[in-house]
Amino acid sequence: MGRVYDELEPVDVEGEKWDAPLPLGPEGLRYGTLPNGMKYYVRHCAKPKGRAALALAVRVGSIVEEEDERGIAHIVEHLAFNATDSYSNHDIVRLLERIGAEFGACQNAYTSADETVYTLTVPTDKEGLLDETLGVMAEMAFKIRCDPADLAKERGAVLEEWRMSRDAQGRLQEAHWQLIFTGSKYAERLPIGTEAVIRRCPAERVRAFHERWYRPQHMALVAVGDFADLDATVALISARMGGGASRSTAPPPPLPLHPVTPHAEPRYKVLVDRETQHPSVYVSYKHPRMRISTPADFLQHLALSVFEIALNTRLYKLTRQRAPAFASASVSDEPLCATAGSCVLMATALEGQVLPALEALLTEVARVRAHGFSEGEFKRAVAELVAEVENTALEADQGYSTDIRDEYVRHFLNNEFVTGQEYEARLSKTLMPQITREAVEACARRYRPSDSCVVKVVDHSRSCSEGQLTQVVERVAAAEAAGAIGPWEEPEAPEGLMEAPPEPLPLEQAVLSERHFPAPLDVTELTLCNGLRVAFKTTSYMRDEVHLTGFAVGGLSEVPQPLFYTSSLAGTLAGHLGVFGFPPEVLGDILAGRRVDLDISEGAYYRTMRGVQSPLDLETAFQLVHLLFTTQVKLQQQEVDNAVKLVRQGIEAQLRNPLHAYHQRVRLVNYGGCYYFRQLTLEDFEAVDPALALAHHNMSWRNPAEFRIVLTGNVDRAALEPLLCTYLATIPKTGLPPPKLPKEVTPLPYSFPEEPVVEDVKVSMVSPVAQAQITFPVSLSRPVAREELVWLSLVCRALETRLLQKMRFVAGDVYTVAVSPFFGCVAPSLDGDPAGDIAVMFSCDPANKQRLVGLVLEEVAALQSSEMSEEEVATLVNLDRLTFENSQAENSYWHDVVVTGYQSKSYQLLGGDLSAVYAKNMEAREKVLGGCTPATLRQAMCRLYPAPPTSRYTAIAMLPRPPGLFHRIGAALAARWFGTSGSFTSTALAPPPPGGRKRGPAAAEEEEDDEEEEAALAGAGVRGSLWGRLAGGGAAAGTAAGTAPASSVVAAAVVAGVAVSAGLMFWAKARRR
């Protein structure tokens, strides 16, 4: 590799050290046992500054439940936040939010089959806060109150979580869980439990479970953060936790172990659920859970990683063949439970092709057993792993406290080694030369039919039988035994992206002009000779990270409506052919071992390229940019036919999703029937012209003078300038018209209804659940739009907090509720007041829908007519400040500031002064936060929401279509025989996750990412980050630059491989609060 990797010092693993446990580290870690038997881990981490990530890990999950306790471990987890000796009904949540731990993002928990884990992230920069938080965690550990009144309040939220798990994916996952664990207690111990227990278990039983199992010997407290004194932190933990004990005086029962019994004969199952969107094949091979605690274990883990990289690359190449057997496929090693793991082969099949997909999967693993990997495959896979190791080394001291905390949680629960990133990188480099092709290829022997194999097909209709699955497995085994499976034919791939780099221009010729925006932005902008502008900001937040975004004004709103769907699918079709001059599978081989990422997209008003690069691979990223502009993608009928087949299957799959008709109606109503938000239909797709689509793509990515590229991160100007001269300045000029100005952009023709609209969209669904979205129009006065955006953030947070209190914590009617603003339709050409909307979204029992919609309207009216308390307002402001402080230590924040600043209306109005845009935004922010009082917040509610709220809004709900007579009879009998409610769904089978249920808002910190913001169509279209728009400044900063049309979101998702990945085995740990 010749870079940081080569400089890593080796680790001595000779002799007895080879099989000895790796040291728990790094140096400075405080680890020990309190007098009552509880373990503790304390470590310093300054990222984020002034914060600490805490976890209470309990080795107790649903596996210890008796038959009449199924779901109680999860109920106890819920009660921990709402009912302890010192806190009642939301008091803990309010307390933690008051000190800066936001509900969901900073207060969370999950229950799995084997453990329950509570996590908090709190400030450390104020005296007494850490001690107060540890007091809360001590209450969670030992003083959970299980009174009937407490339990009654929490049943509703748990039931709603159970209801949310009854969608197609949840049903299939449950069936999968039961299938793979047949013969084990795990099969009947999904953490969510049963509806009967959730509804009717008595408080005494819940209390007895808590007292029996919540023992300090089964617990660990992990604290990782910006601590001034680690020993003082240990003393606080000891004082708060060291004397804790169960209320029960009985000796603690031993924690049971439930090994999963191996089986030599494969198990087969065809699972049918009419709401399943894509036919999928899963082949699991169970094995004892791999423990990585010694160098020998770690070498085996590294070899398995190389095997998975190599085989996944090969499986991807199979999807690129003339008649692929599947749309996507993968191999992975997944933990199932405390005692078992599994090797998983997974494929998303083409319609009616599950048997060929299964045969192709099994054949490829058999081919590896028979012939191994080629030298090129092996080297590329090792190069990918080396790149990961180098990234680990570069950012060894830049890890986040939450990530490090979770490592120590896994050490406690599963004895996974934790040595610190630097030591791990050195150990990896030491062991890497010992990874042989033979050892990697031997991993394929873990994938044999006799190795506790479970073969499962998931489809929306019965396309095959278990007997046919058996025949496929036996046919492949026979072919392998007869030597009838030939070797892999490795396609040729060039060594690099370019045979030779372009002749570089002299710097004085390449760069025509330069300007600098001073600190705190500290951004330098260079205008190149071809009109391309490059802005860069150098930071030290992450050593191995450079964010790159390039954008041009003008997107799909400029396309004539008859060509809209053709143009919106241009990126999908071009991407399938290869936008950088190589087919995607060849490009993957060329880029092996390089940390580069560059995706392109087209929204309503902007064309965008973006990705995160290693500074060491910035040259490769710039080569891709050069190729993007100089490649004319040509029509290749075979490749286009494959892409068309995938997109058509995706459209058909959408129609099986109960949410499809609902989301379509929400968009239609809230945007006045705007064509941009209409879902692509098969009829629309038949009219798409692939040749015109590719022509649109080629024209969209041709003229460098239209684009501005922004770089943020570890950017070294001395290294950057030669790359600009070689790759970006040499992109040819074109004779095309001058770039479109923001003021010339064609706005989308959208409008919000003038009168209230209340509708129920009744759809056929297997498990009845209601989805509701109440949407209000919002308009920001242009002269004070900056301030109004800050006010809007506060009033949305205020409403969400109130609704959570009433709908979840008091009534228990919902699992969660979200309030979010959206300005994605505002064009950069708009001179008037920006208009957007505010959406309130939740799911619930269909019987409660009407009442809860009314409650939302009443709460908006209440916040308009009466003031929040001083404490509530202070909490809102404090949470806002803390969130903002954290974000300022991230490259992503500053990158969004620069990009959205350039795109903002303020940038136009302030004469292109990016510093002035940022300064005015910060001034507006401080003005609002400094002036936020109960009275001013109420006034903002009156300004930003319709007053009264019932004067102008939409309330659109998805409800189950009334079932037919036979279904009603079946449901009634089920309720009588099995103690279920009317939502009996035993005929709808499905697969699960292992382990557990996470509680927390959808925006959990580890799951956030920018692409999710841009692709998730949430009712009123794509709802993005308000803070990203505010940072860029001005109300119009929130334009639809990243608002992908419904058609391209569906198509791109399908071509990328839409199916649920093999990682679905983590589902049982899912659903954040």
What residues act catalytically? 77, 154
DSSP 654-687: HHTSHHHHHHHHHHHHHTTT-GGGSPP-HHHHHT
Residue whose C-alpha is closest to residue 351's, from 440, 278, 429: 278
- 635 Cβ partners below 8 Å, 6+ apart? 690, 691, 694
| Three-class SS state of 884 | helix
- Spatial contact of 1036 and 830, defined as CB atoms under 8 Å apart: yes
Q: How far apart are CA 115 and CA 324, in angstroms?
A: 41
CA atoms within 13 A on the CB side of 965: 0
Q: Give the integer Cα–Cα distance in Å for 70 and 1047.
A: 43
Contacts of 163 (CB under 8 A, 6+ apart): 767, 769, 843, 845, 983
Q: What is the DSSP letter of 809?
A: I
914-to-44, 704, 975, 1021, 1031 alpha-carbon distances in Å: 37, 21, 64, 29, 11
Identify the residue whose tokens are 């639809």.
1040
What phi and psi, each to the nearest 5 degrees, are found at residue 9? -75, 140
Q: Measure the CA angle with vertex 116, ends 409 and 421; round to 5°.
A: 15
Q: How many helices (H) and strands (E) does the chain have?
A: 37, 24
Give one DSSP letter per residue of 762-808, joined into a string.
EE--SS--EEEEEEEEEE--GGGHHHHHHHHHHHHHHHHHHHIIIII
Give the separation between CA 320 and CA 980, rounded to whole angstroms.
47
> What DSSP letter does each residue of 892-930 carry, written as one string?
HHHHHHHHHHHHSHHHHHTTS-HHHHHHHHHHHHHHHHH
Query: Alpha carbon of 876 to those of 360, 796, 839, 1033: distances in Å?
Result: 55, 10, 19, 22
Neighbours of 21 (CB within 10 A): 12
SS3 593: coil
Cβ atoms of 990 and 458 within 8 Å: the answer is yes
What's the number of CA atoms in the CB half-sphere (13 Å) around residue 872?
18
Give the chain's radius of gyration (CA, Å): 29
Helix (H) or strand (E) holding 573: helix 570-577
Q: In what order do the strands lie in the sheet with 835-844?
A: 757-763, 954-960, 770-779, 835-844, 817-822
Q: How far apart are the C-alpha atoms of 537 and 521, rounded to whole Å?
A: 8
Q: Report the alpha-carbon distance of residue 963 to residue 971 in Å, rounded.
A: 10
Round to whole Å and give the CA distance between 826 and 742: 12
Strand 954-960, strand 757-763: pairing: parallel
Alpha-carbon span 969 to 975, nearest angstrom: 10
In Å, how far are 57, 231, 413, 774 from 136, measured between CA atoms? 14, 20, 22, 35
Encoded tokens for 877: 């402001």
Q: Is 976 exposed, middle or buried (0-12, 13-18, 19+ CB in 10 A)?
A: exposed
